[in-house]
Amino acid sequence: MASKDVLLKVDNLTTTFQTDEDSITVLDDVTFDLHHGESLGIVGESGCGKSVTALSIMRLLPKPAGQVVKGTVTYNDENLLSLSREKMYTIRGKKIAMIFQEPMTALNPVHRIGKQLGEIYQIHFPEMSEAESHAAQIDILEKVGIPSPEKRLREYPHQLSGGMRQRVMIAMALSCKPDILIADEPTTALDVTTQNQILNLMRELQQEINMSIIFITHDLGVIAEMCDRVIVMYAGRIVEQAPVKDLFSTPHHPYTKGLLESIPRLETPPKSRLEIIEGLVPNLKNIPEGCRFRSRCDFEVEDCSKTDPKGEPIGDESHRTVACIRWQELSS
């Protein structure tokens, strides 16, 4: 780990979504730290709350349905969730930037790349002249590996390929040299060779401007390559938190184990049986009592339905937590 100092602190974050009938708790008591210069991975299946975590931090939840009902997000000794809108504008995009899975929906289709990129400088650096802004735009596009940036600035998003669009998104996110980059499935829509290019680019840029990254993905391969530490989420909860090497070598939570065993790997023999996690993710509308994973867990005992496991720290490793009442006996 690069350093121990905490850059962003998320405490007991709880987010609900209002539907016609009732309110659904999609994030429940999520607590974690992000350190200076580290890459933190958040992994989990669809609906586990990984994107909602990002949106809650950024205060970009769809209004009025989504609401943070509990918890704090501390950045620079300030709780982001209680800042004024004006104050938040100076942080969102400038200090904490975000890139999304599908750049085609995140970029505005009717504006040229130059206009969209220029807007960022306009908002965050109003003192910049037009010429300076133009030079900065070309500079940042070059940095993310876009050939002939001058020409690209005059093009529209649809004229670029998927990989190029994602590079533009990264350029926009990095134009203010943020402290934190939240990347929500940044390579999921891309082909493997393009994904490889984008991941390399992100690694290089991270070192160059020394930012912290929260990397949200469902791909354990990407996690293994990109992250220092990993959070595993299941049905709105953090079930395990660990340094990446420990998570892959000694997973403690049965869900983490199941996930790791169920992926087809290049070295598994063809047509062998894959380990599977039976059943489905529980419906967040009626979350079962006790442990949320127990209905799919091979190690369920009676107590699992009675106690709601909280992420307990393991030993003196403050960076490792697991939310399972049986983890100790299962790991021995």
Contact residues toward other proteins (CB under 8 A) are 45-46, 161, 163-164, 191-197, 199-200, 218-225, 244-245, 248-249, 258-260, 262-266, 268, 270-278, 280
Nearest to 168 by CA among 226, 104, 215: 104
Nearer to other proteins, 126 or 147 (CB): 147
> What's the rounded Cα separation, in Å, for the pair 136 and 286?
51
Q: At closest approach, how far in Å is the CB of 193 from other proteins?
A: 4
Structural tokens at position 284? 């967040």
Q: Please, what sign has the CA dihedral across residues 215, 230, 200, 192? A: negative
> What's the rounded Cα separation, in Å, for the pair 225 and 261?
18
Q: At closest approach, how far in Å is the CB of 298 from other proteins?
A: 13
CB within 8 A of 38, min separation 6: which ones? 1, 2, 212, 213, 228, 229
Residues 227/246, Cβ–Cβ less than 8 Å:
no
Nearer to other proteins, 110 or 280 (CB): 280
> What's the rounded Cα separation, in Å, for the pair 54 and 161?
26
Nearer to other proteins, 95 or 292 (CB): 292
Q: At closest approach, how far in Å is the CB of 170 from other proteins?
A: 16
